[in-house]
Amino acid sequence: MKNIKKIILIFVFIASCFHTNAQVELLEKYDLMPWPKEIKENGQKFIIKEDFTIAVNKDDINSKIVNATTKFLRRLSGRTGVFIEEGFATTTSITKTPSLFIDYNREGKLELNEDESYELSILNNQVTLTAITDIGIIRGLETLLQLNAHTKTEYFFHGVDIKDAPRFPWRGLMIDVARHYEPLEVLKNNLDAMAAVKMNVFHWHLTEDQGFRVEIKSRPKFHQLASDGQYYTHEQIKELVAYASNLGIRVVPEFDIPGHATSWLVAYPEMASKDTIYKIERYAGIFNPTLDPTKEVTYQIITDVFSEIAPLFPDKYFHIGGDENEGKHWDENDKIQEFKKKNNIKDNHELQAYFNIKIQKILKEQGKIMMGWDEILQPTLPKDVVIHSWRGKEAMLKAAKQGYKTVLSKGYYIDLLKSIKHHYANEPISKDHGLTEEQLKNILGGEATMWGELVTPVSIDSRIWPRTAAIAEKLWSSNEVNDADNMLKRLESVNYRLEELGISHIRNRNVILRNISNNQDLKSLINLTKICEPLKAYQRNKGGIQYKSYSPFTQFVDACNTDAIDAILFNKSVKKYLKSRADSGKKEVISMLDKWITNHTDFNEINNNPTLAKLEPLSSKLAELSSILKKGIARGSINKTEHQKSIGIIDFLSKPIVDTELVIIPAIKELITSIEIKNVKP
């Protein structure tokens, strides 16, 4: 018996190793993102020709399937150049032997925990996509598009069998349109991109100190006085919600209260905790204006707003913010202090809890489930409230242990401009979570958060993508899919495919550079963007006082992005060279140094305005330092004068220049340290 058990264990171990190796090979071969739950090759392929057709197993094709299949055909035709003759899906009663057969059971509900699973089989003679819901079909069509490949003579789909389903039911992107208004078209393009990587919740942050972005017919002062004329009408909201619904994406609105409320008080100062004149806030930061939780008029106005807005958003969840309320105006208000004593409310946290419970009741009357940032968590809060964790995973785990549903954004703050690898390493549920199986179910998933202080329609896509695609994979795929280098390989393909959906994250770099160069040759500026990144963690606008909401966001820093491509390549080349000292490594490093030496010559050709003059020290000193390094690497040493000069330049280049940082500095320091200092002539 013992021998049999040993044999079984050995067999299981061997099978496990074989499966792991097979998955690694497939991860290297296919650029699928997010990676599916199960994938196997079947040795076949489906060739894409003009006679490609789609048929659905329903006599009446619903709007989600019509939308998804039509977009699929246009994107497939656009990628391949194949003139597909039938431009729309039909039913199996019309097309008996379609190229792509779609089979689903029912229309999916746009609600939490709806089935999004699908199965995909690609054979020589037909592609079959099956799912329980039409939402599963939408997810499967995105995977099928990613399996499109080609040889010199034909386009085809790789022959695979896939069974796929998400790890988490809540996979969201929050976009703040209050600090900087974003047109509907920008939001629609981002919804398409979300669907492409299988995200399913659009969190729409609509109010802030800097603006109230929604038309309120019953309280028109909100959009008349507190929006600068930039707001969404009821019809526009309905349009966006319908657009998202066709993509299988839920829309959760956020109206931030009781703090972050200046725009509320510009319109209706009778809600305020302090009697003063309020103006729309033009800077970024945390401000004191706060709704008064002791006034009945506060709840009357909120009820008017929520009862008008709630029907526009079919989703059950409604986000009330609740973060960063420091309560300064509460502390200064004698009537509020008297109210606290009378009602045995010991501090501002309890006062906000009092406020939140009243808001929760208002929302419940509208059929909504309240959601808020983790500051709202307190013992008397009803258990159906969802806690949105932004300050730390500890808040998420605490909420889950106490029986609250919870969503994670800590580690997914894309406006902090941290690297793709940083976000990808953020595992939603760590191994030492300490939760029971039942408590684990309370963790619904996560959201990438795009706060809007430093983005406009020109730059917002570059701040969201492609990093959000990596976050999307963390929320869809198994936690065993965690190789960051492999993810970057797959992301490279997904990244540029986002452009076909209208995402401008790549092309708008040149739009910005043309603006600051007055349409001169961009080559030298592009080269600098490839080694410079925006200052991270709000250092670009430290204290929120450098930029106003209407300041120009069309500067060199707005053309730069995280994960600067040449910096990554240079850092790898330096490590490779220092490890082996091989000629090939040396040539790679010198080649890049040469690039920056000649780049300054090109830069001088266009350096003819005050904006570019601010960049000149970066370009010139980088060229000078690159020249010293090139000579040092070539001859194996530098003299003391060169060394001292290089140290001075490195010190200068280590400091921010026009709100960017030169991210090759660590590798340059390693190079300098590795070169011998000799008393030789330059």
Catalytic residues: 324
Residue with tokens 């208002």: 362
Q: Are 248 and 135 in contact (CB under 8 A)?
A: yes
Question: What 8-state DSSP symbol labels residue 535?
Answer: P
Distance CA 600, CA 527 (A): 10
Return the closest-CA partner of residue 417 out of 439, 389, 395, 448. Answer: 448
Cα distance between residue 491 and residue 32, in whole Å? 8
Alpha helices in 435-535 (DSSP H): 437-440, 460-464, 467-476, 484-497, 508-517, 523-529
- The Cα–Cα gap between 371 and 405 comes to 9
* Short-list 322, 354, 57, 43, CA closest to 207: 322
Judged by phi (left if over 0) then psi (alpha if -120 to 50, else beta), residue 213 lies in alpha
Which H helix or E strand runs over 637?
Answer: strand 637-638
509 within 8 A of 529, measured Cβ to Cβ:
yes
In angstroms, the CA 565 to CA 533 distance is 10
**CB within 8 A of 224, min separation 6: which ones?**
267
Among residues 204, 188, 242, 246, the alpha carbon closest in space to that of 371 is found at 204
Q: At what angle do helices 484-497 and 2-29 cross, to 10 degrees?
A: 40
The angle subtended at Cα 518 by Cα 512 and Cα 520, nearest 5°, is 95
Alpha-carbon distance of 137 to 130, in angstroms, equals 7
DSSP code at position 310: G
Concatenate the DSSP letters of all residues of 189-221 into one string: HHHHHHHHTT--EEEEE-EETTEE-B--SSSTH
- At 40, which helix (H) or strand (E)? strand 38-47
Residues with Cβ within 8 Å of residue 161, at least 6 apart in sequence: 39, 40, 42, 119, 120, 121, 122
Buried b (16+ CB within 10 A) or exposed e, 613-622: eebeebbebb
CA angle centred on 285, ends 503 and 260, rounded to 5°: 90
Nearest CA among 326, 313, 175, 319 for reference residue 255: 319
